[in-house]
Amino acid sequence: MRLAGKTAIITGAGAGIGEAIALRFAEEGARLVLNDIAAGAGDTALKKLKDLGAQAVLAVADISQESEARKIAECAVANFGTIDILVNNAADFTQKSVENAGIADWQKVLGVNVIGTALVSKFAIPHMKAKGGSIVNVASMSGLIAQPDFATYNASKGAVVTMTKCMALDLAPYNIRVNSICPVCILTSASYREIERLGLTFEEWRDRVAPLHMLNRLGEPREVANAALFLASEEASFITSTHLMVDGGYTGR
């Protein structure tokens, strides 16, 4: 097992990509600290993991708040004594143009996607320095390209990509590797919210979006989880400060 004996924190683990990462890490023997802002979603994911025999606990917290972000690292150390892996997956999906976004929109999306990622990392890093580890930031291909009426979200994910490189440089002396993964159209609950926002049926949305990818289909959460597993594991021991595209060839055209 690639993560046997390792303790991993996964934020936004109650559903979608975060839950898929938690399940994949459990298959590889990790001890898990799940974070979600919603207790209900977190409890559901926790039950799935425990049914599989995984060692897992839940830390309900709003990562955009410093005192709550601190509790996640404290939970990991209290239950498992160490932190080896951090996956910053929690995200806000506010998608608006600069013209249409208000200050509350910017504060919300930056508060979770940028400040939240920074805060959870801040409190986990001291527990990783002694023996090294891996941080995987879930960014997005949206952080690397322009999309119509997506300025808030794309700006926040672009910041995550750049922050990843800065963290990698600062933490390299401690053998802490920091990388990001950049998914594209992965079929999650966020996809269905986007479909509703656009006023389309699922089939209409799929037929519009799938051909944008070289592979001509949508991605699955487990496919992103496999990428996170690789970067978190020792198989990626000489990889840091990079962003791994999990986009079916979207950005390669």
Q: What CA–CA distance (Å, rounded) separates 121 from 136?
A: 10
Q: 192 an active-site residue? A: no
Angle value at C-alpha 116, between 113 and 118, nearest 5 degrees:
100
pLDDT of 197 higher than 90: no
Dist CA 100 CA 27 (whole Å): 43
Amino acid identity at 191:
S
Checking if the pLDDT of 193 tops 90, the result is: no
Write the DSSP symbol of residue 8.
E
Rg (CA), the chain: 17
As given in the structure block, the two tokens for residue 129 are 């320095």
Q: Residue 63: is its pLDDT beyond 90?
A: yes
The residues, ordered by sequence, that sit 6+ positions from 228 with a Cβ below 8 Å of its Cβ are 21, 24, 25, 87, 136, 138, 181
Q: How far apart are CA 71 and CA 54, in angstroms?
A: 21
What length does the chain have? 253
User: How, if at all, do strands 31-36 and 56-60 pair?
Assistant: parallel
Domains of the chain: residue spans and CATH: 7-184+220-248 (3.40.50.720), 187-218 (no CATH)
pLDDT band for 147, please (50, 70, 90 cuts).
very high
> For the residues 15-32, what does the mean pLDDT come to?
97
Does the structure show a pLDDT above 90 at 126? yes
Q: Contact at 8 Å (CB) between 111 and 101?
A: no
Check whether 3 has a pLDDT greater than 90: yes
**Annotated catalytic residue, options 153, 174, 192, 250:** 153
Please say whether the beta carbons of 185 and 191 come within 8 A.
Answer: yes
- Coil, strand, or helix at residue 181? strand
Tens digits of residue pLDDT in 68-109:
999 999 999 999 999 999 999 999 999 999 999 999 999 999
Q: At 164, give phi and psi (nearest 5°).
A: -55, -45
Mutual angle of helices 221-232 and 16-27, in 10-degree steps: 50
Q: Report the predicted TM-score, pTM, of the whole model to 2 decimal places.
A: 0.96
